Chains A and B, each alone.
Chain A
Amino acid sequence: MARITVTVNGKSHTSDVEDRTLLVHYLREQLNLTGTHIGCDTSQCGACVVVVDGNSVKSCTTLAARCDHASVTTIEGLAQDGNLHPLQEGFWECHGLQCGFCTPGMIMSAYDMLQQNPNPTDDEVRHGLEGNLCRCTGYHNIVRAVQYAAAKMRGEEVSAPNV
């Protein structure tokens, strides 16, 4: 067993985990943060993406023990005081999801991307989301949702497109 102290969405947790525990299982089963999904479980689909110390990673392929003293942000950490994060709002307004399974991972990848590139082109959004698979939307509305959020985060006036 390993004793780890991890800051998750701003709150410090000290937990005992088996050495082989994967970050996604730690988040879902020990912290009950089930917004992070397990999709392919082989680091391809991106449903499990979270941000660790400022970098997006696939939590199905990250050991929880490695995250000792790390800061982790999950989908549950984005909304503030009951207000949706611009990305969450964008996915809502632009119909960026259908079944919603991929959405937490999509949003966390987009969150990391917009930290590094606040004004991406559509091509850059698509490239930045290459590690996230969606089997419903065909991606067009996801790109719109990310652009909606990017504009809002830059302080611009935004409105939902006709979709």
Chain B
Amino acid sequence: MIPAAFQYVKANSVAEALVLLQQHGEDAKLVAGGHSLIPAMKLRLSQPSVLIDIAGMADLKGIAVNGAELTIGAGETYHAIATSAAVKQACGVVAACVGQIGDIQVRNCGTIGGALAHSDPAADLTAVFLALGGKVTAQSANGSRQIAADDLFVSMLTTALDSGEILAKVTVPVLQKGQGAAYAKLKHPASRYAIVGVAAMVTISNGVVTAARVAVTGAGPQAVRQASCENALIGSNGDAAAVKAAAAKAGDDMDYLGDIHASEEYRRAMVQVYAARALNEALAQARA
């Protein structure tokens, strides 16, 4: 399979890429790792007339901890993040999540910014990012703005990013004592994409769950928070009964997609199972 014809342009900096985006307008697409976009182009599901290559760009790199925040350049690959000592220590769930995506060849190419900007319904990082309550920094010709995780994923393959913007940085919290975060995933046996993935972050103080964020991917059009599940857990002691009650509420607040891999009903059932697993793991970390 060969993509429809397009013009390839390499950008060497964000500033250069922004100029190119303005020049070529809505027919242009940014490409980083390309492992979502190029397959879509080969199937002619996407036919941009211009591809602006932003892979490997120095100003989209960098992993840094600043106080309570971990900031990762959008162009950092899954492999670089999965093997980063700073990420493992500051927010291990991110390293664990990206370390199980695809295979080493995919992880050598795929980027954190690409995953979030693409918003694939079965992406893993979208749920983790949402559960962590992160934010992205988007740059455009007019400057930069921050978009909270809660506002980023609009619908299937659609985010709040404007066509003239580049997702430049991803920021997530550094997990503190009393906090835990985990991602539990039902993998498709062949592709390893998420049939259902649930990410959870919890905060425990004096034996009481004071905060909880839970997000589901794979089961619906885009990653989505689970407010009923979160509210059921907050204020409890996070014991087995509390987790069971909260997990039973997971999946209440979303639309489902069924396909040849799994029906809507099956996905709905699995959301509850994997919510319990993610919550149990996150709570165990928070108590450790």
Bound complex: CA A113 to CA B79 (Å): 13
Q: Is the CB of B8 within 8 A of A65?
A: yes
Chain A neighbourhood of B10, CB < 8 A: 65-66, 68
- With contacts A20-B4, A41-B1 known, is A56 near B34, CB below 8 A? no
Q: Would A46 and B105 be within 8 Å (CB), given that A62-B34, A63-B34 are in contact?
A: yes
Among all A-B residue pairs, the 8 with the closest Cβ atoms: A131-B103, A19-B8, A55-B108, A65-B8, A130-B103, A131-B105, A20-B3, A58-B105
A36 at interface (Cβ–Cβ under 8 A)? Answer: no
Query: Within 8 Å CB of A128, what residues of B?
Result: 104
A110 CB, nearest partner CB in chain B, Å: 11
Residues from 9 to 42 in B contacting A, C-beta threshold 8 Å: 10, 34-35, 38-39, 42
Contact B104 A113 (CB under 8 A): yes
Task: Tell me whether A19 and B55 are in contact (CB under 8 A).
Answer: no
- The A interface, classified by DSSP as helix, strand, loop or mixed, is mixed
A43 within 8 A of B: yes
Binding site for A on B (CB under 8 A): 1-8, 10, 34-35, 38-39, 42, 51, 53, 55, 79, 102-106, 108-109, 190-191
Cα of A36 to Cα of B32 in the assembled complex, Å:
24
Does A57 sit at the interface, judged by CB under 8 A?
yes
**A-B contact sample (17 more), CB < 8 A, given A19-B6, A22-B2, A61-B34:** A19-B7, A19-B51, A20-B4, A42-B39, A44-B190, A55-B79, A55-B108, A56-B104, A61-B35, A62-B34, A62-B109, A63-B53, A109-B104, A113-B104, A128-B104, A130-B104, A131-B104
Interface contact tally, CB-CB below 8 A = 74
CA distance A148 to B79 in the complex (A): 26
A25: Cβ under 8 A from any B Cβ: yes
Q: What's the minimum C-beta distance from A74 to chain B, rounded to whole angstroms?
A: 14
Residues of A within 8 A of B38 (CB): 22, 61-63
Q: A126-137 interface mask toward B, CB cutoff 8 Å, 1 = contact, 0 = none? A: 001011100000
What residue of chain A has the Cβ atom nearest to residue B56's Cβ?
A66
Q: Whole-angstrom distance from the CB of B197 to the nearest CB of chain A?
A: 18
B5 touches A19 (CB 8 A): yes
Give Cα A122 to B1, complex, Å: 35
Shortest Cβ distance from residue B185 to the other chain A in the assembled complex, whole angstroms: 15
